[in-house]
Amino acid sequence: MTLIEAIAARHSVRQYLDKPIDATTVDAIRACIDECNAASGLHMQLVTNERTAFASGLARYGRFRGVSNYIVLAGRRGHESDELMGYYGEKVVLLMQTLGLNSCWVGLTFKDVRGAYTLDEGEKMRLVIACGHGASQGVPHRQRHTWEDFVVNHTGLPLPEWFIAGVQAAEQAPTAIHQQKFEFEWLGDEKVVARRRMALNSYTYIDLGIAKLHFEIATNEMRLQQLGDVPLLKMI
């Protein structure tokens, strides 16, 4: 499965089978997390075989069942750290999808189990990503927008195909309460600016980071197909 295929195939899954993640897959996930932490300065951690976080009434309210594995997203406080968590957390999510696992971003409906992970001075745990062998593959959200709703273009020129492909991939990004509060502006040539839009939740910078990664993956695949050996666009 390619990353583009993983973007299309991944849907939020809240119910999981009582089936452990095999050691080889755990090693692959942790290697990816280590690379992402080194690149970002974050402190993401994979927690396995830990059922307390999703055994409370909060988890039942969120309709979670059978969760015993999750990724802790932790780092310095602030909007920049939030955006990095979205971008690099989604890198791990898409890797897990290619490895046959399912996942769900979780902001509130879990219990903070402090002994399950570690924090360095000045760090904060922001949210987690439930993961494992899903009881289903999940279902796509009903789209409330078209890809054009996420575009800003004041150039008066037609949008490049690679830009459109990137926005269409960003449209598939998971966001808090499915608000999709982000936009991409094409400034001409190779210049793209991504912004968050105001929303009634505190996860918009995380959502923006996820959308940026989706845009980057689709854009670079299109650019490589059309233009060959070109510098890759990087949003973070």
The per-residue pLDDT for range 149-180, each reduced to its tens digit, is 999 999 999 999 999 999 999 999 999 878 89
Given pLDDT bands bounded at 50, 70 and 90, which one contains residue 65? Answer: very high
Is residue 211's pLDDT more than 70? Answer: yes
Q: What is the pLDDT of residue 52?
A: 95
Average pLDDT, whole number, for the chain? 92
Q: What is the pLDDT of residue 34?
A: 98
What φ, ψ does residue 124 adopt, rounded to 5°? -140, 140
Domain residues of the chain, as ranges? 3-132, 147-227
CB contact at 8 A, 85 and 209: yes
Task: Name the more confident of 107 and 231.
Answer: 107
Given pLDDT bands bounded at 50, 70 and 90, which one contains residue 114? Answer: confident
Q: What is the pLDDT of residue 200?
A: 62
Cβ neighbours of residue 60 under 8 Å, at least 6 residues apart? none
CATH architecture of 147-227: 3-Layer(aba) Sandwich (3.40)
Pairing of strands 182-188, 151-153: parallel
Is residue 8's pLDDT more than 90? Answer: yes
What is 3-132's CATH number, 1.20.58.480, 2.60.40.10, 3.40.109.10, 3.20.20.100?
3.40.109.10
Instruction: Name the E strands within the chain.
Output: 45-47, 70-76, 102-106, 123-132, 151-153, 182-188, 191-196
Which stretch of DSSP H or E encloses residue 43? none
Residue 53 per-residue DSSP state: T
